[in-house]
Structure 1
Amino acid sequence: MRIVSSLLALVVFFISFAASAQTVLYHNFNGYTLTGEPGNGAVLKEFDAMLVTDGKVAAVGTLASIQASLNPATTQKVDLQGKTLLPGIIDAHGHMLGLGENLIQVDLRNAASEQDAVARVADFAAAEMGPWVVGRGWNQENWSERSFPTAKSLDEFIADRPVWLTRVDGHAGWANSKALELAGITAETVSPEGGEIIRDASGEPTGVLVDNAMALVESQMPAKNAEYYRRALVTAFDHLVSEGITGVHDAGVDATNLAVYQQLAAEGNMPVRVYAMLSASEPRLPDLLADGPITTEDDSLTVASVKIYTDGALGSRGAALIDPYSDAPNTRGLLVTQPTDIEQLFELIIPHGFQINIHAIGDRANRIALDKFAKAYATIGGRNLRHRIEHSQVVHPDDIPRFKELNIIASMQPTHATSDKNMAEDRIGKERMQGAYAWQTFLDQGTIVAAGSDFPVELSNPFFGVHAAVTRQDRDNQPQGGWYAHEAMTLEQALRAFTLDAAYASGQEQQLGSLEPGKWADFIVLDQDPFAVTSDKLWRADVLATYVAGENVYTQE
């Protein structure tokens, strides 16, 4: 690992003091934060000194203005030597357990072909002798063939152990024949509602299962216990703080996961603040709702929302569309949760005062979600709960104004656009792109956009997301000029979406999201100033140190 000696020597030297001192004055840096009300009225503030007392921001401004009233004998000073200081990044949509699992399972994200993926799985299986071989990250759209993989290719190397490999978006899985056998999947097996068993020309299962069909295999896998959850979550925490992420909205948490979070919070072992969305499929959901929203005293864990799935993903053609897919006219995608069931969930959740965060990628799914919010407001209320549509990815132009009318937050992931650019137009055609990945259109009408990554679907590095938001390009600066560049964000808007507006999306803008007096001192130190580099370099920002509540939780070595 690289050593940033001049800065880190000072930071490490002062950590021992800061741990016991109540007041620390950080100075000599380029500081930026959005201030005031979230949304378009927020103002970018620049500062070069910040006072932290008891884990919260006491003052921001110039060194002269702050230190004039301080007692030098009781204030520790940390010189950040001209580096850049930003609020801690809040990822408004990620999957903590999935990320932790990804870091301890076989990772297929960079597999260049089906054969390459199989070779990686075979190498992993040779080193890991567990009962199942599990991995994630394959994406056939990045392969030259661009066709779904098969069980047969896995069987050539691993026939005696079941193999289960989740697609990068989490909405399809690839199994070998042993896993299909354990799940009882044959040519006669009927695809479940909201799912599909992909079949070959003779009707035999190929090994790929989409959305609700994935449960046929997953129900046969060994149960995950609390110890497994803890290992995965702690692994994810360590990874995220190294990337400057101090808060995550965890999009779908079951009862076991919640219990582990509560234990970690009680122990003081939550270096990343978690806003947990209860999974709508959790059997104990009614009991968890009856317990009411949860917020720890130190805001390390908050539970005040529920995640509902409407449809699948665009890459696996599971996103629910109003009209058929342009490249598959025989399908309009899948509804993972039926409209009547969504309505019943709304009736269950809203009276308990929980926010609803509903996954909707296709234009049909987004319309269903909006319709259900409108009906709920008219019948049971809940308009004040800051409900969200997660992804808001392909929206019919007629429905975009309804987000503002219904006070719905658009929770969007900038790197989805740069990852999907090679297939989105194939899936939906040029005309429907008018309402796809439409960040600036939402911002222009005053809709709050909360930015995230959807890790581990995408890489968790938030500066990859900032770069994608501003340039509409991948990290090879393609396509030239940006993909549908008129929907790009400004740098200020992107930073706001990953900080202040993300905090608003969890109802925490009074505690988090900006470096203003009274808020928690969650901040990061960078090697470069994003406002002083060309936009193509935004993704290269390197996190030197991360602080949560004024405590150093990561220092680059």
Structure 2
Amino acid sequence: MSDGLFSNAKVFTGRAEDDFATAFRIEDGRVSWVGDAAEVTGEPSTDLGGRVVLPGLLDVHTHPAVMAAQADAIDCLPPRVSSLAALLDRLREHPSYGKPDTWILGTGFDDARFPEGRTPNAADLDRVSTTQPVLVRRCDGHSASCNTRALELAGITAATADPPGARFERDAEGSPTGVLTEIAAVDAVAERIPEPDTATIARRLADLNEHFLSHGLTGVCDLLSSFVPDPLAAFRAARELGFRPRVALYPGWQPELADLTDDDRTGPIRIAGIKVFADGAFSNRTAWVEDPYPDSCEHGLRSIGDDELREAAGWARRNRVQLAVHAMGDRALNRVVDLLGDDEPWLDGLPSVRIEHATLVAPELVDRLTRARVRFGIATHTIFLFAETSAYRNNLGPDQARVAYPIRALYDSDLPLALTSDRPATAWDDADDVFCSVAAAVRRIAHDGTDIGRPEAVTVPQALLLYTGRARTLADLGPVGVLEPGAAGDFVILDRDVFTVPAEELAEVRVGETWIAGERCWPR
């Protein structure tokens, strides 16, 4: 631990857009003072060379459990894979290719970019193997494709009923095509994949330590931690193996979920809530929307009924944790407010209900969320529009596009708010690169140069608050996200001044050092 005075820096404290200092002191792993270096004389200090310092960055909607569980899956993200042919070639590179009775797994394909103009199906994946099961997940994390062997192992036939809120896509004769739409359909196949044990998952999580620290992420929320068995034990074991970021876990809701103990809810690795799905995703037209999709009469899929949503909220209330609701479409959002908006809040200082993604948020919906009796908060993105602009362009009508990810309107509201990555559930290889997200929020220009709603742009300080001081209002990660007396001594040092670089260079900013509790944990 390197307690002491740090000076000669441009310190963004995370408390407000214009709150800067030039020095700070850390004692016993906590910030004890922040101010002007001129106020301190005669005290030894660590000279930071005029570099920019930010509080440790927070990604309050990401998926380390998924990243660990899918360590055996081969990366099929763009730009490496931008066609069906390239996808098949990539799957043939899997280390298990040619090994009898082993799964060939892939993740991250974005068929919206495929020149073939369609989703891969079982017939396509049979060209990879007819004897080994093949499963490749789409970039949105909500859909997947599998081959005939995988369908056989899962027992999915023409007679198999669709799971609630999901579909096994079928051909004209009713036979399953291998396209699995929404999570319950994917799970029907994925549950046949042998699960790694807790010790293996813990080692894989520990191996992610450098990834998070190199991105300056000192606190994260895992918004589907039950993707691995016994996530609390696995993450705590990973911490013993050297995993440093704080983690708030949100397992997926199940009616049989056991009640929590005080130990479950406390410490640097804790259970902070549960997650439910109210709808699907825009990239595969399963988000539940008020207006139908363009050139369609479809409104998407609803993923949870009223009674079950209320049951999940009751569990969260009883266990004094948050309810996190995946709701992308405006119809899903309105239904959540209809059902829960008049409830008595059950948490002090935090929103009782988090809305995850919140894609279509018209001004009247912002007003409903703000005026509700229960306290809502929102974890949203710019990385989705930035990375998946083709899919959104195809799947949003003009009126919907105008209110898609309205970061400026949400920032100007009183709602607890954060920008997040949802990694790895989007079509960008490095989705939790904070500065790629900041650049997208500030410029509102997609990877291909498309305008993605410039009236909803924010400034650099505003975007950074949504990864620091404002983000901490959304999730229980402890005294993080700000540099002020009493806060954790977590900070990052940048390789350039993010506040003065030209806007077109924002995505090139990198973390040079990451410090946790006054200890330098990662130098570039």
Q: TM-score, normalised by structure 1?
A: 0.87
Q: Which residue in the other structure is 1:109 paired with?
A: 77
Instruction: Give matches, 1:381-392, under 5 Å.
Output: 385-386=350-351, 387-392=353-358
1:220 aligns with 2:192: yes
Q: Which residue in the other structure is 1:24 paired with?
A: 4
Q: Shift in Å at residue 82 of structure 1?
A: 2.8
Q: Which residue in the other structure is 2:424 paired with?
A: 456
Q: Shift in Å at residue 548 of structure 1?
A: 1.0
**Structure-2 change in CA distance of 1:488 and 1:189 (3 Å):** same
Q: C-alpha offsets along residues 449-502 of structure 1, whole Å, 9 cap, x if unaligned?
A: 2111001124211111111111111345x12xx321111111111010011111
Q: Shift in Å at residue 411 of structure 1?
A: 0.9
Instruction: Give matches, 1:483-494, under 5 Å.
Output: 483-494=452-463
Match of 1:355 among 322, 333, 351: 322
Q: Shift in Å at residue 368 of structure 1?
A: 1.5
Q: Which residue in the other structure is 1:269 paired with?
A: 242
Match of 1:201 among 160, 172, 178: 172
For the residues of structure 2 that align with 1:47 and 1:268, how far apart are their CA atoms? Answer: 35
1:551 aligns with 2:522: no
- What stretches of structure 1 move > 4 A for 4+ residues in a row? 101-104, 125-130, 290-293, 380-385
Residue pair 2:169, 2:178 contacting (<8 A) in 1 also: yes
Residue type of the alignment partner of 2:299: R
Residue type of the alignment partner of 1:373: L
Q: Shift in Å at residue 291 of structure 1?
A: 5.0
Q: Shift in Å at residue 535 of structure 1?
A: 1.2
Match of 1:153 among 105, 124, 149: 124
Q: Shift in Å at residue 270 of structure 1?
A: 3.3
Instruction: Give matches, 1:414-433, under 5 Å.
Output: 414-433=382-401
User: Any gaps of 5 or more consecutive residues in structure 2?
Assistant: none
Q: Which residue in the other structure is 2:364 paired with?
A: 398
Q: Which residue in the other structure is 1:368 paired with?
A: 335
Q: C-alpha offsets along residues 190-242 of structure 1, whole Å, 9 cap, x if unaligned?
A: 21111111122332222110112112102211123202321331222221111
Q: Shift in Å at residue 128 of structure 1?
A: 8.3
Q: Which residue in the other structure is 2:36 paired with?
A: 62
The percent identity for this pair of structures is 30
Aligned residues: 511
1:499 aligns with 2:468: yes
Q: Shift in Å at residue 397 of structure 1?
A: 4.3
For the residues of structure 1 that align with 2:494 and 2:263, how far apart are their CA atoms? Answer: 39
Residue type of the alignment partner of 2:21: F
SS in 2 for 1:500: coil
For the residues of structure 1 that align with 2:462 and 2:175, how far apart are their CA atoms? Answer: 49
Instruction: Give matches, 1:114-513, under 5 Å.
Output: 114-125=84-95, 129=99, 131-211=102-182, 212-254=184-226, 256-265=230-239, 267=240, 269-281=242-254, 283=256, 285-288=257-260, 291=262, 294-296=265-267, 300-329=268-297, 331-377=298-344, 385-386=350-351, 387-406=353-372, 407-458=375-426, 459-475=431-447, 478-479=449-450, 482-508=451-477, 511-513=479-481
**Structure-2 change in CA distance of 1:321 and 1:348 (3 Å):** same
Q: Shift in Å at residue 30 of structure 1?
A: 2.3
Residue type of the alignment partner of 2:501: V
Q: Which residue in the other structure is 1:39 paired with?
A: none
For the residues of structure 1 that align with 2:137 and 2:381, how far apart are their CA atoms? Answer: 20
Residue pair 1:109, 1:136 contacting (<8 A) in 2 also: yes
Residue pair 2:96, 2:102 contacting (<8 A) in 1 also: no
SS in 2 for 1:344: helix
Higher relative helix content: 1
Residue type of the alignment partner of 1:322: E
Q: Shift in Å at residue 528 of structure 1?
A: 0.9
Residue pair 2:277, 2:304 contacting (<8 A) in 1 also: yes
Residue pair 1:347, 1:376 contacting (<8 A) in 2 also: no
Residue type of the alignment partner of 1:519: A
Residue pair 1:51, 1:66 contacting (<8 A) in 2 also: no
Q: C-alpha offsets along residues 59-101 of structure 1, whole Å, 9 cap, x if unaligned?
A: 2223332344x4x4xxxx3222232211111001001112234
**Structure-2 change in CA distance of 1:303 and 1:126 (3 Å):** closer
Residue type of the alignment partner of 2:383: T
Root mean square deviation, CA, Å: 2.2
For the residues of structure 1 that align with 2:348 and 2:52, how far apart are their CA atoms? Answer: 39
Q: C-alpha offsets along residues 250-289 of structure 1, whole Å, 9 cap, x if unaligned?
A: 1022261111123344x37331111111321384x2333x
Q: Shift in Å at residue 383 of structure 1?
A: 8.2
Q: TM-score, normalised by structure 2?
A: 0.92
Q: C-alpha offsets along residues 116-158 of structure 1, whole Å, 9 cap, x if unaligned?
A: 0110000114568472111210111121233111111221121
Q: C-alpha offsets along residues 24-46 of structure 1, whole Å, 9 cap, x if unaligned?
A: 222233221222xxxxxx34322
Q: Which residue in the other structure is 1:537 paired with?
A: 505
Residue pair 1:102, 1:456 contacting (<8 A) in 2 also: no
1:94 aligns with 2:62: yes
User: Any gaps of 5 or more consecutive residues in structure 1?
Assistant: 1-18, 36-41
For the residues of structure 2 that align with 1:54 and 1:385, how far apart are their CA atoms? Answer: 27
Residue type of the alignment partner of 2:354: R
Q: C-alpha offsets along residues 333-379 of structure 1, whole Å, 9 cap, x if unaligned?
A: 112222221112112221321111111011111111112222433xx
SS in 2 for 1:486: helix
SS in 2 for 1:398: helix
187-196 vs 427-436, greater mean Cα deviation? 427-436
